[in-house]
Structures are given as structure tokens and as C-alpha cells.
Structure 1
Amino acid sequence: MKGKAYLVGAGPGDYGLITIKGMELIKKADVIIYDRLINSGYLLSARKGCELIYAGKGPKNHEMTQEEISRLIADKALEGKLVVRLKGGDPYVFGRGGEEALQLRESGVEFEVVPGITSAVAGLAYAGIPITHRGVADSFHVITGHLAAGERRDWRALAELKGTLVFLMGMENLGHIAKELIQNGKSPDTPAAVINWATTGRQKVAVSTLSGIEAEARAAGLGSPSLIAVGEVVELRSELAFFEKLPLHGKRVIVTRSRGQASALSGRLREMGAETVEIPAIEIVNEPFGEALEKAIKDLRGYTHIVFTSVNGVDIFFESLSAAGLDSRSLSGMTVAAIGPATEAALKDRGIRADIVPAEYTGENVAASLLPTIRRDSRVLLPRAKGARRELVELLSRECRVDEVVTYEAAMPKQEKDSAQAIAELEKADIVTFTSSSTVRNFIGLIGEEGIPILKEKLIVSIGPITSMELEKYGLKPSLQAAEYTIDGLLDVMKKNAEVE
């Protein structure tokens, strides 16, 4: 089998700034060889069994030489594998993608280049600086800030350019760049900006004149990776900046939901400006419990009520229903209850409109809402997670027969991160979110007793009272609790808190 390599631009850092084609290739790859500055969230989309190889290069710290990286891409493809070389920004904008492509051609490897959004354009945009603007700058010039040994630059030609100058990889030489431009004719009063960690939740911007930008950037503590922008368009930032005004900008948030659900919450948090770190604390495991559910489905006509207490419960029930050759019509005549709006929406997607959704999203309130519809000869089917709270079963069982069928377990997932790595991520975080009591138990199981004092120092956000009660078992008090026990409620309380900080 003949392999193939793709040089894929991963964009400047924001998770959403990768092409559709790039993401599709990540999902299909046999091998991903990735850079230091790519958004690590992309790697979560890699298929099971994909080989992930870090080939990052930081300032004065190279995991591999460029020659080794180029050879590695070719060798993996020659093994018959689909190889994705995932590069920050665009492969051909100071990404040394040309060298990698030439090595692939020399090795007889078929390859394609998938362009990415360069930070030279996107980074300025996220800082509120349009790289061109009518009447201000009718051109732009992207320049490496780091020359190879022995190379010389025509600083006079650069200083005479009237458009926007953007220097990449130039923080180490910031003072030298400013000095050379001024000495070769550029006005020392020319507006200039440094954009650190552009398009990410860590983005910081320093603005000054060309003569003052080094001192301003150093005072702000800006380092690598940063962009340097020089030109009159920098003055537009005061009117056009938007990214740093987002409510959670600058906050690092840990998401503990299951792998399948984490991306949706992370995406919403990123829309609010946060930088997210996914440490899934639950994995939905349903294989051991299929037989009991199959038996209940065969006897479905014997039930008068069915209660769903989670989206996962809905999904697994209907998958089993479909496997039995049945569909939503099988619930005809039954009273259907959902614990909250997310579960209600999942049922609606399956063509079922819930008869009962309590105002408060707890088992006790589900029982209270159901009891007026129940008689002594009623029979309730409750397909739900292993280890769920007993209150709902106990309250309903006083009035009628309740068949609790375990359909899945919120198990501790196999972690990409060990305890020490999880604690390291926790130390760097500002906020930790918990969306169920299972996420609490399993996350604390991961970080251990050593991590609890660190967690106490963070802003802990709970989705509701049951999750908060679980936190309290470990001596932890949630900083915030959603008023509505949903993901929307969780995000809303975080936004309101940010607005008053």
C-alpha cells in the first residue's frame, strides 16, 4: 500500500481557525506529526490508534532538527501510512513547509499542501488591527524576525515601505528591529504593536510607537510567541478591538465532561474568550448492560411510564430500541418524563415530546411531578446510569412498581494525562467546571488528595445542587452554581460572574 503525506496548516491558535479539509485529514490520519504552537484540541479528533509524534521547536529548544522532521514525514509515508504534518499557521509562511515538500518529492512520496490561516493576518485581526485599510495601508509585508546565520537584510528598503509591516518570530530581536527601521528612515513615532499568543485565550497586546514598543512589550511581560506590527493601522485598535473584551478572555478553564460531550462545552467557552483544557473525568460505558435493556424493551408494552434522567440515557435507550427493529412509536400511550431541558431536547430529536419536565431538575422533583399521574397498578421503566441517586426510585416505589434498568456507567476513562500531568494543568487553570457528580468523583480520583488543596484555590463552577453536594463530600465548596441546571445555566453564571469581577 502506498502512503501519502499532507502538509496541513493548523491556523494561528484559535480552535475554529482551521480549514474543514485540515480537520477531515486529522480524523483520517494514521500518523500526525505536530508542531509546538498548534491547538492541542485538534489531536482529540484523531482516530483511535493514530500515532501522535511531537516535533515542536521552541526558541533555542528543538525536539528534532528540521532535517529529521522532513525525513520522518517521508519515512512514515513510505510505510504506507496517511501522514498529516500539522503545522502552526500556514505551511509555506515561514513554516519551512517548502523544505518538507522537497524532501517528500525527493523520496518519491505523494503529497498535498493544505493551506492554513497565517497568524500574520489573523493575529492582527484578533487584536483589532486590520492589516490593510483604505486610505491608511494599501499593502502589507510579512517578514521573518529571525534571520539564519550569515543572512543580511535591506533595512532601508523595508523602512521605505508604506504598507503594514508584520514580523514573525521576532521577539528576541524586537529592539534590533525597531532600531534598524528608525535608523533607516522610519519615523520613531510610527505606531507599533506586539501581539502575544495571538487568537488564543492568553492573547495580550502592547501598543506604542516604534521607539517605545520594546520597553512597552517588556513591561507587559510579553515573550514568545509574538507578532510585531508596524504601521498606521495599529491606531485602529482603539476602535476595533473585540477579542479581549469577551467575558472569559484570559481565563483558563478545565472541562471535565466526557470526551464526546466536552468539545461542545469547550466550544461555547471559547466563544466567550476562554482557553480550555479538556480532562475528561467520565467515559460512557454501556456494553455490559445491554441484556437488561433488551429484556425491558421486549416488555415495553407492560409499562405505563418511562423516565429519562440524562441525554446519555436517551441515546442508549433509542440505540437499543432501533437494534430491536423498533422506533419511537413503541412509546405510544406511555407517560414520558425528562429530568430537564437537555434530556427533553434529546427526546424531541427522537420524535418524542416529554409529558413531564419538572421546574427543578432533580430526582425528587421528577418524582413529585410524576406522582399525580401514578396509580397502584402503574409500572415505571427507569433506564439510567449505574450508581445513580436512589431518591427517585424510593419515592416512586412507595406508590407503584418501578423497574430500574442500568444502561450505562459513567466510568473513569483511560487518561491521556496521569495524575501529575492533571495536577500541572490544574495549577495553571483559573476555573474548573463540573457537570455531574460523576465528574467530581472521577476528577478527584485522578488528582488525588494532593490535588484537592490546589482545586480549593480555583473558581469551581457546579452545574447544580447534586453536583455541589458531591463537591462538599471532599471539603470543596463551589464558587458558582448554575441557577438553571443545564450547560446554558453553567455558562450564564460564569458570564455574570465575569461581568462583575
Structure 2
Amino acid sequence: MTKAKGKVYFVGAGPGDEGLITVKWQRAIEKADVILYDRLLNPKLLEAAPPHCELMYCGKTPYTKGIRQEIINELLVSKALAGHNVVRLKGGDPAVFGRVGEEAESLKEKDIPFEIIPGVTSSIAASMYAGVPVTHRDFGRSFAMVTGHERTKQEIDWTGLVQSVDTVAFYMGVANLPNICENLISHGKSKNTPVLVIQWGTYGRQETVEGTLANIVEMVSEKSLQNPAITLVGDIILLRKRLQWFEKKPLYGQQFLVARTGTTKSSMAENLYELGGDVIEFPKWITTKVKAKKSQLLSFLLYDRMLFTSPESVHGFLDLLTEYAIDFRQISAKLYVVSRKSKKVLQQRGLIAALKSEMTEDGTLLIIGDRKKEHLDPNYGDEDYFQSIEKYVDERFLEILPRMLEENAVDTVLFSNQHSVDMLMDYGDKAGFDVSGMLTQATIGVIGKSTGRKLKDFGFTPDMMPHEPSVEQLVALIVNRNVFRL
């Protein structure tokens, strides 16, 4: 029996900001068996892929050719013929300088089904994040997107661009910027025409240089801007002073690494992102179910106190009760949690808990966690213990971390608990990255004293620690520190 062909989805990942994705994009990633992804997309977007999915890097840099296009075409065909759902994940929009036509044609020749899911195109998004709409009834009623690569300079209709288009966006044109400016001027564009170059548009590390056709080359050289970049040309750039918004966020331009210990969304990372920071979370975690008997679960309901060590342990335990049709109302124990995040998760599941610091010593205690007992924090003592879920590091992301850090110099490293210190040290080393070197150069923040003591075991002293151990307090310290620097 012949195996059914898979399907290929060409997906536009947008320009970088992880929020600029679509519902259809998300669904395609969540059911992928194989993802072929490019350099310029935000690697955080790959976290939506299921645990079994094969992640294949196809990126090219300005200095390396990477995988040849014909090899990418062959991979798409072979993986689909093997019956896999394949996602070709491209930065920006796959139809805008994304070679989607060439890749789709190779599938058509083999009668392989495919879909093309548009993404937010980089020139429009980067321009808006820099405070410039690409059209405006007073400044620009027409807009063009042009490849800025060196080898295409003779193929461009420069006269048409100058005479017929108000605003022009050149993709990846930094190396060719002198020729772009020279051709626009020689074909009739004023030397005083405003120009804006945007590097890493929509990321927290976005950097912009504003000038004119006469001086932009020198200004970009002074700032050492490189691709990926969008070069915007036109009078519409004059609106920038009034419409800037992204670059006014308090943590704009700051790069953070948050040491991660859970699978749930990091509230610290989320807060930093909303404030304009560029955030890497590492390592990436995934969970699997543990086996338990109904009689065992029912016996747990006889304890006087239950202490949950993580949000995952909460979900794991309550999901097991649901699986065996055990009513949550049978839980008579007083519930306690280690973190406010776990408290919130319990509340969302209809149960109220107090923090461990408020726990009394009366009655029997069951600790419910997400790791084997031998790896449990010794401060918990030798109490009864149940591991409600298996949690482990997703090692697919170990090879991604060094590439992320090559593109993104980290200013601040943040730790939420003792375990986060061990995990970053251990898995950073497994990823082949010099964590100690990064910590020597970066500002270090911790939530509480125990985390600070753990950090000192590795020879580092935190620069920031809030008076109260909370995410909100640490983020407030970071914001205040950044304002003071400005």
C-alpha cells in the first residue's frame, strides 16, 4: 500500500515580533511533523511546534551561503512524499522576496498539495515600528518594495521609481546603499530626500538611522548597521518625529535572557517584552504524563496539607484527577504553593491556595512536584512526595541558542529561583555556549536571596534583587535602572 503524501505549508512568520502571527499560522505549526526555517524569523516562534516535530535550519547569513536552494526544494519534496506535514517557515511574508514561487513549483511537479499562508511583510511592519506609515494622503499615495541586493541594481527601473512612486522600501540593501542613493539621485531624486534605515525591525534590538540621500551612507557606516535591514526613502519619513511609539517604550534597546524552569508562559519575560525589551528564554521545557492508579490518587485526598512546587505540578495533578473522574471537591487538604504563578494557576482551576511562607506545621503533608524526589529542593525536607508530571528540557533548542546569541548581545540575565541558575549553567554548557563569559559582561538580576546565594556558588554576585521576592518588583527595578541610565 502506497503511503499517502503529506502536505506543505509555506508560512510567513512576520518580521520578528512574536506577536505578529496569525491564527492560521499557529495551527499550521502546531500540526507540523517537519519545519524548515530561515535565519531571520524569531526562534521563539518554533516553541509552538509539537515535541515530535523535526526542526531543520535552512538559514543564510550575509557571510555564508547556507543550504543551497535546490537542496531546500528536494527536502520539501522528500519529506512530503514520506507522508509528513511540512512547514516552510519564512521571515516576513513568503511571497515578498521569499522564493515561494520556486519552492512551490518543485512541489507542483510531484503533485504534492500545498498552501501559502501570508505573513506580515517586513518593510511595512519595520516602518510602522519606526514611526513611519508607508502611505499617507499628504506625503505618499504610492509605495513600492524593491530588492536591494547588489546583483539586481541594473535591473531596477530607477526612472519609474523616482517619477511614479512616493515611498520606496529596499530590502537587504545596506551593502548596496551607495549604489541605491547614487541611482536615485542620478535619476532625478533630490539629495535632500529623507532616508531611514531600520535594522532588525520590530525586535527590541531594532536600530534606526535617519538621514538624506546625500548623507545616509556615511551615517549608516558610522553606526555599523548591517543586514537584515529595510531602507525607506521618501518624504513620508518626516512624520516619524510625531508618530514614534515603539522606540519610546521604557526597555527599548535592552536585551534580556530569562533563565527558564517551566513550560508555562514566563510572566517576567512577558512583562519585559511588553515594555519593549528583546527577550530570550532558555532552556525550553516540555512535559509528559506520569502513570498513576485511581486508588493512589484517592489516598492523596486524605492528607491535611498539599504543597505544589510549580504550575506544571498543579496541572499534572488536577489533570490526573479529571482523567479518573475524581471530583476536585473531594480535596479537603489545605493547599499551598511555592510561587504566585502556581497560586494563580490553581485559582484558574477553581481552587484557592496560600503561599508556602504561610503554611502551618499541623497535619500530614504531601508535596506534589514535577521532578524526581532526589532532585527536589532539600529545603522541603523528607516529606511524602508525588511527581504529578514529567518535565524535561527540549534539546532541539540547544543548537538554536548559540545562533540566537550570535545575533543578540545580552545586556541582562535574570533568574527566578535556584533551579533556574543550575539549568542555565548546565544546559548552556550542553548548547556549547559560554554562560560564564556572558554573566561576566551582563547585569544579573535575581528575585530572592536564595537565588542570589546559588549564583554565588558559581562565582557571580547579582546586581539587582528586589526587597520583596516578586516578578513585579524585579521588573520595576529593571525599568528604574534603565530610566536612570537614560
1:278 aligns with 2:281: yes
Residue equivalent to 2:384: 404
- Of residues 226, 229, 246, the one that matches 1:226 is 229
Matched letter for residue 435 of structure 1:
S
Match of 1:71 among 54, 69, 74: 74
Structure 2: runs of 5+ lacking an equivalent: none
Amino acid at match of 1:117: V
Query: Structure 2 length as normaliser, TM-score?
Result: 0.88
Contact 1:8–1:114 at 8 Å: present in 2 too? yes
Residue equivalent to 1:366:
358
**Cα distance change on mapping 1:263 and 1:416 into 2, 3 Å:** farther
Structure number with larger C-alpha Rg: 1
Match of 1:344 in 2: 343
Contact 1:281 1:439 in 2 (8 A): no
Further displaced range: 173-182 or 259-268: 259-268
**Distance apart, 1:142 and its partner CA:** 1.2
Work out whether 1:326 is the aligned partner of 2:311: no
- Match for 1:316: what amino acid? G
* 1:128 partnered with 2:131: yes
8 Å CA contact retained: 1:5, 1:112: yes
Distance across 2 between alignment mates of 1:283 and 1:71 = 31
CA distance in 1, matches of 2:434, 2:16: 32
Instruction: List aligned pairs for 1:365-384, cutoff 5 A.
Output: 365-367=357-359, 370-371=360-361, 374=362, 378-384=363-369
Which residue identity does 2:352 align to in structure 1? R
CA apart distance, 1:193:
0.7
- Structure 1 residues 221, 441: CA separation in 2 closer, same or farther (over 3 Å shift)? same
Choose the corresponding residue for 1:479, options 463, 466, 476: 463
TM-score under structure 1 normalisation? 0.85
Letter aligned with residue 404 of structure 1: D
**Cα distance, 1:120 vs structure 2:** 1.4
2: distance between equivalents of 1:424 and 1:84? 21
Secondary structure of the 2:413 match is: strand
* Aligned-residue offset at 1:245: 2.2
Taking the TM superposition and a 5 Å limit, the aligned residue runs for 1:105-116 are 105-116=108-119
For the 8 Å contact 1:164–1:231, the answer to whether it is kept is yes
**Cα pair distance change 1:391/1:428, threshold 3 Å:** same
Judging changes above 3 Å, is the alpha-carbon distance between structure 1 residues 282 and 484 closer, same or farther for their aligned structure 2 residues? farther
Q: In structure 2, what residue type is equivalent to 1:80? A: G
Partner of residue 183 from structure 2, selected from 172, 180, 198: 180
Q: Answer yes or no: is the 8 Å Cα contact 2:143–2:168 preserved in 1.
A: yes
Shift of 1:301: 5.5
Letter in 2 for 1:318: L
Question: How many angstroms apart in 1 are the aligned matches of 2:190 and 2:337?
Answer: 67
Q: Which residue of 1 aligns with 2:305?
A: 305
**Deviation of residue 488 (structure 1)?**
3.3
Q: Deviations over 1:102-143 (max 9, x none)?
A: 222223222211111111111100111111112111121111
- The separation in 2 between residues aligned to 1:153 and 1:91, in whole angstroms, is 21
- Deviations 1:39-96, CA, capped at 9 Å, x for gaps: 1112222222322222223336322333332333233222322221111111111212
Q: Secondary structure at the match of 2:421?
A: helix
What amino acid does structure 1 have at the position aligned with 2:147? Answer: T
Secondary structure of the corresponding residue to residue 444 of structure 2: strand
Does the CA contact (< 8 Å) of 2:309 and 2:337 recur in 1? yes
Aligned pairs (5 A) from 1:69-148: 69-146=72-149, 148=151
CA distance in 2, matches of 1:419, 1:109: 30
**CA distance, structure 1, for counterparts of residue 403 and residue 109 of structure 2:** 45
Match status 1:159 vs 2:162 = yes
Distance change in 2, residues 1:486/1:142 (3 Å): same
Q: Which moved more, 1:232-241 or 1:379-388?
A: 379-388
Are the structure 2 counterparts of residues 2 and 390 from structure 1 closer, same or farther at C-alpha, using a change threshold of 3 Å?
closer
Aligned to 2:417: 436
Cα distance change on mapping 1:39 and 1:263 into 2, 3 Å: farther
After superposition, the Cα gap between the structure-2 partners of 1:489 and 1:322, relative to the gap in structure 1 and judged at 3 Å, is farther
Matches of 1:392 and 1:49, distance apart in 2: 34
| Higher alpha-carbon deviation: 29-38 or 311-320 | 311-320
SS of alignment partner, residue 141 of structure 1:
strand
1:335 corresponds in structure 2 to 334
Q: Percent identity?
A: 34
Alpha-carbon RMSD across the aligned residues, in angstroms, is 3.0
Amino acid at match of 2:368: P
Conservation of the 8 A alpha-carbon contact between 2:129 and 2:244: yes
Q: Secondary structure at the match of 1:53?
A: strand
Quick one: structure 1 residues 423 and 231, their matched pair in 2 at CA, closer, same or farther if it must change by over 3 Å? closer
The structural deviation recorded for 1:37 is 1.0
CA deviation map 1:389-444 (0-9, x unaligned): 455658xxxxxxxx531426897635346699669949932222212211112322
| Counterpart secondary structure, 1:21 | helix
Alpha-carbon distance in structure 1 between the residues aligned to 2:395 and 2:219:
42
When residues 56 and 480 of structure 1 are mapped into structure 2, their CA distance, relative to the original with a 3 A threshold, is: same
Partner SS for 1:62: coil
For the Cα contact (< 8 Å) 2:312–2:389, is it kept in 1?
no
Q: Does structure 1 retain, via aligned residues, the 8 Å contact 2:35–2:87?
A: yes
Q: How many residues align?
A: 475
Q: Offset at 1:223? A: 1.0
Unaligned runs of 5+ in 1: 358-362, 395-402
- 8 A contact 1:248–1:273 mirrored in 2: yes
Distance in 2 (CA, whole Å) between partners of 1:17 and 1:451 is: 30
Residue-by-residue CA offset, 1:167-226 (whole Å, 9 max, x unaligned): 112112111111111111111111111111111122110001111111111111111111
Distance 2:277 2:5 in 1: 42
* Contact 2:10 2:117 (C-alpha < 8 Å) held by counterparts: yes
Secondary structure class of the residue paired with 1:94: coil
**2:348 partner amino acid:** D
**Cα–Cα, structure 1 residues 161 and 423, in superposed 2: closer, same or farther, change >3 Å?**
closer
Task: Give, in whole Å, the separation in 2 of the partners of 1:45 and 1:189.
Answer: 46
- 1:143-171 deviations in whole A, cap 9, x for unaligned? 12126469533322211135211111211
Cα distance 1:94–1:335, how it changes in 2: closer, same or farther (>3 A)?
closer
Q: Distance in 2 between matches of 1:53 and 1:380?
A: 46
